[in-house]
Each structure stands twice: as structure tokens, then as C-alpha cells.
Structure 1
Amino acid sequence: MSCEEMGPGEAAGSDCSEVLHRVYEYLDGEMTTADTVKIKQHLEACGPCLHQYDLDQALKALVKRSCACEEAPVELRTSIMARITTIRYEISE
């Protein structure tokens, strides 16, 4: 069942924007068990979010392979994460 069939932006009790906003936490195993289950259930029920998750997972794997021997400075990581958050916020509006 897709998000459209379940209602505007909701599947398995989660809002699509929340799932997409937290997908990297899910990929990195940085969520509580309850949140992990919630996101997993949403992805199983929502085709569009699952597709985005697959893209994010592939991107993360590509970056990891490309940068395996280098570690990004903390300032760079913080800056990138802030920019991603800003972009996602702008898109969700």
C-alpha cells in the first residue's frame, strides 16, 4: 500500500517528511529501537519513501567507498549536515 492510499503523507503511523528527514539516522543506526521499528514499518508500506531510502543508501555506500581512507574534519561534517537540514526544510515548505 502506498502513501497515497493511506492518506496524505502517512504510512504505518509515520509522516513521510519525518521519515525522509531522519533517514540518515536510520541508515547509521542512530535511532532508538522504537523509532527504528517505526521507520522500517513506514518504508515497508510507502513506495516513494522506500525509493528515496534506496537512493540515500546507495549514495552513502558510494561516498564510503570513495572516501574510505580519508576522514572529514568535524567542521566540514557539521557544515554539510546543517546545509542538508536547511535544504530539506526548504523543500518541505
Structure 2
Amino acid sequence: MSCGEPHETDCSEVLSEVWLFLDHECDQKRRELLQTHLEECHPCLEEYGIEEHLKALLAKKCGGEHAPEELKRRLRARIRETTSDGRVDVSLDVEITTKTDA
């Protein structure tokens, strides 16, 4: 997708990183570039709005379910198996959630 206007960051590049932007998983410099593009480009801003709405809907519909204890145990065991030295601390009480169709 392209709006036809020149931008510092290409539309396709911005749209491929929308989820990183939404999840605050990009560094501050990249976030600022993406934010600037979204402020300048209406088609990308519309697409961003759809993705933002989808993320909110997913959180609302799937946000409260917790993974079964057996699944957590198996995940921890598998992590231990795949680490090279076996010294990764997977005993932390990390909240593992499941995503199901709503």
C-alpha cells in the first residue's frame, strides 16, 4: 500500500511494523518515525486504527483466560531441554494465557 506521497518511512514498512508499534516493542527512535508517518499518511492511519481496534477486541475477548497448569509445566520443561546449559530460571511465576476463538 502507498498513499502516493513521499515519506521518510515507506508505507509498506510502516504497516509491517504496526503491531510492534501497538505493542510498544520498537525503540523510541523507530516509534517516533512510525508515529510521524501515521500522522502524515491518512491511509496508513486508517489501517493502524483497524489494527488498534482488532487488538482491543482480542484483549477484551481473550484477555482473561489462563493456561492450564499442565501446559505451563510442559513449557517450562521444554525450555529447560532446549537451553544449552540448563541454567535458565523458568521457575518464575509468569502468567501464560491462551487465545481461543471468541
Whether TM-score is above 0.5 comes out as yes
Residues 3, 45 of structure 1: 8 Å contact kept: no
1:68 to 47, 51, 63: 63
User: Equivalent residue for 1:76?
Assistant: none
- Greater strand share, 1 or 2? 1
Root-mean-square deviation over aligned CA pairs: 1.7
TM-score by length of 2: 0.61
Q: Do structure 1's residue 3 and structure 2's residue 3 form an aligned pair?
A: yes
Residue by residue over 1:2-39, the C-alpha shift from the partner in whole angstroms, topping out at 9 and shown as x without a partner, is 932x24xxx2x001111000000000000100000000
Q: Which structure has the bigger radius of gyration?
A: 2
Write the distance in 2 (CA, Å) between the matches of 1:51 and 1:15: 16
Structure 1 residue runs of 4+, over 3 Å off? none
Structure 2 residue runs without a partner (length 5+): 66-96
Aligned length: 67
Structure 1 residues 70-85: aligned runs within 5 Å: 70=65, 71-72=97-98
* Stretches of structure 1 lacking an aligned partner (at least 5 in a row): 74-93
Q: In the TM superposition, what is the alpha-carbon distance from 1:72 to its structure 2 partner?
A: 2.3
Aligned residue in 2 for 1:88: none
TM-score, normalization by structure 1: 0.67
Higher RCO (Cα < 8 Å, 6 or more apart): 1
